[in-house]
Structures are given as structure tokens and as C-alpha cells.
């Protein structure tokens, strides 16, 4: 079987684009220099003033916005308080007391055995788990958006396959704007991107039938954010 020849398409497309530009070597080099400088600058555009308050204002804004997007939130005093908070959610929603959790150090170090009724396993999901627990990399107060990214401590399948997605957001990583969250991500990965970054604002929904908004289209039917105040201990 002969493979298609992508090179043919490449030179044809770039050649046709260049028909509308100055196609001299000098001009092309200049365009590349312009582009490289622009990329390196990582210059923010207009940033809405909405999320410019202090830490408390940002947290209040995050909660308001997340709830506006139909997420639910609860406060957690520290990692040791997670088993109680998780159990409260599962019980309130009449769910089996089982949870697939991300193997993130903060979560694996919790003394889950103190709640013997809770069946905890760690790792990715293949679609058999009703509820999952993840750690957010960051949160964006501007729109109540969670930022999660793939990695050994954060399987992406947990964000989309289970019916109920529980996410721990530490107050220390809450950002006002997306730009601040990008800076944090660039610093964390030395500029390298993880395979995937997910911005999640509320649970899954669809308006495709009769223009009627229905929750739980393909992803989680509910999104529950556990806000862990870790600034107290700093």
C-alpha cells in the first residue's frame, strides 16, 4: 500500500501561502524572526479586572463562578479531613462507598483507612468507576475553572469517565486568571507542556436536543470541588 505523500501537500500549501507574501529569502527570515520574538515574549493581552482582588476575594469569586457553572463546592480543613468530606458526598448522593483516586502524593498520604467503609483504589479508570477523585494543578477564579493536567500523578480518564468527579483544589494554587495558571504550569514543567491540560468549568452538559440544557452528556454528571485550605499551615 502506498503511503500518501505529505511533503507534496506541505510544499504546495506553504508555496501558495507565500504567493501573497514577499517571498524573498530575506523576507522569510524576517518573518521567522518576528514570529520567534512574538512567541518568546509570551505577552499577555487584555486581562479582565474581575480577578484582581486579594486571596479571599479570589476564593469567593472562584466559588461563585464554579457554582454558577453548576459545580458544587465544600471546604476541607486539611488532607486529614478528606476522608470525611468524600464520605459525606458519596453518602449524600447515595453512591457506593468506592472511589478511584489519582495517585498524587497529597492523596496517597491521607490515612484513608480511618474510614474503613470507604473502598479506595488509585490509578486510571477504564469506565467501571462511578466516582473519581483528582488533584487540581490550579484553579482560575475568573470563571471558576479547574486546571488539571496529565501525568503520573494525574490520569486524564478520571476527569471524563466517572459519573461523579471530585476534585481537590488547594487554596495555595488558586490563580486569579488563566495567564497566572499558565505561568505556574510553565514554571512547574520548565516550559514543557504535559500531554494534556484540561480546563474544567462545571459538569458535562448538552443543549443538542430541543435546545434544552441537560447535564451529564458524556462526561461527569456532577463536579464536586473540595477546597482545601493549605495556606493556614504555611
> In the range 79-98, which residues lie near other proteins by CB under 8 A?
none
76/164 with CB nearer other proteins: 164
Toward other proteins, which CB reaches closer, 76 or 165? 165
Cα-to-chain-centroid distance, residue 193: 13
Which of 44, 57, 80, 119 contacts other proteins by CB under 8 A?
44
Give the residue with the Cβ less far from other proteins, 19 or 26: 19
Nearer of residues 73 and 159 to other proteins, judged by Cβ: 159
Give me the least distance between CB of 143 and other proteins, in Å please: 4
Distance CA 164, CA 138 (A): 20
Q: Binders of other proteins among 198-227, rule CB under 8 A?
A: 198-212, 214, 216-220
Dump the DSSP string for 6-63.
HHHHHHHHHHHHHTTS--SHHHHHHHHHHHHHHHHHT------GGG-S-HHHHHHHHH
Shortest CA distance to 162 belongs to which of 106, 105, 102, 114?
102
The stretch among 48-56, 86-94, 104-112, 224-232 that binds other proteins (CB under 8 A) is 48-56
Which residues from 121-140 bind other proteins, rule CB under 8 A? 123-124, 126-127
Backbone angles phi, psi at 95, to 5 degrees: -100, 155
**Cβ at position 129, least distance to other proteins in Å:** 13
Is residue 12 near other proteins by the rule CB under 8 A?
yes
Smallest distance, Å, CB 59 to other proteins? Answer: 17
Residue 53, interface with other proteins (CB under 8 A)? no
Angle at 203 (CA atoms; ends 200, 204), nearest 5 degrees: 100
What string marks each residue from 154 to 193 as x (binds other proteins by CB under 8 A) or -? xxxx-xxx----------------xx--x----------x
The strand order across the sheet containing 131-135 reads 72-76, 222-228, 164-170, 131-135, 98-101, 119-122
- As given in the structure block, the three cell numbers for residue 102 are 489519582
CB atoms within 10 A of CB 105: 10
Q: Tell whether residue 45 is a contact of other proteins (CB under 8 A).
A: yes
Q: Indicate the residue among 52 and 115 with the shorter CB distance to other proteins.
A: 52
Amino acid at each position: 500500500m502506498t503511503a500518501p505523500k505529505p511533503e507534496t501537500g506541505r510544499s504546495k500549501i506553504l508555496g501558495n501561502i507565500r504567493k501573497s507574501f514577499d517571498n524573498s529569502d530575506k523576507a522569510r527570515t524576517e518573518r521567522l524572526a518576528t514570529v520567534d520574538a512574538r512567541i518568546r515574549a509570551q505577552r499577555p493581552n487584555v486581562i479582565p479586572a474581575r480577578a484582581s482582588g486579594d486571596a479571599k476575594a479570589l476564593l469567593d469569586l472562584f466559588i461563585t463562578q464554579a457554582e454558577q457553572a453548576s459545580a458544587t463546592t465544600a471546604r476541607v480543613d486539611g488532607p486529614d479531613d478528606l476522608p470525611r468530606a468524600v464520605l459525606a458526598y458519596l453518602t449524600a448522593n447515595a453512591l457506593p462507598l468506592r472511589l478511584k483516586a489519582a495517585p498524587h502524593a497529597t492523596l496517597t498520604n491521607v490515612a484513608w483507612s480511618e474510614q474503613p467503609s470507604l473502598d479506595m483504589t488509585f490509578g486510571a479508570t477504564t469506565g467501571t468507576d462511578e466516582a473519581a477523585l483528582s488533584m487540581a494543578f490550579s484553579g482560575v477564579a475568573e470563571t471558576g475553572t479547574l486546571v488539571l493536567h496529565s501525568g503520573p500523578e494525574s490520569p486524564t480518564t478520571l476527569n471524563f469517565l466517572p459519573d461523579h468527579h471530585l476534585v481537590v483544589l488547594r487554596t495555595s494554587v488558586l490563580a486569579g486568571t488563566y495567564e497566572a495558571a499558565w505561568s505556574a504550569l510553565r514554571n512547574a514543567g520548565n516550559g514543557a507542556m504535559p500531554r494534556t491540560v484540561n480546563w474544567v468549568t462545571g459538569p458535562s452538559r448538552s443543549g443538542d436536543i430541543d435546545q434544552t440544557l441537560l447535564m451529564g452528556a458524556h462526561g461527569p454528571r456532577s463536579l464536586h470541588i473540595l477546597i482545601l485550605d493549605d495556606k493556614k499551615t504555611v
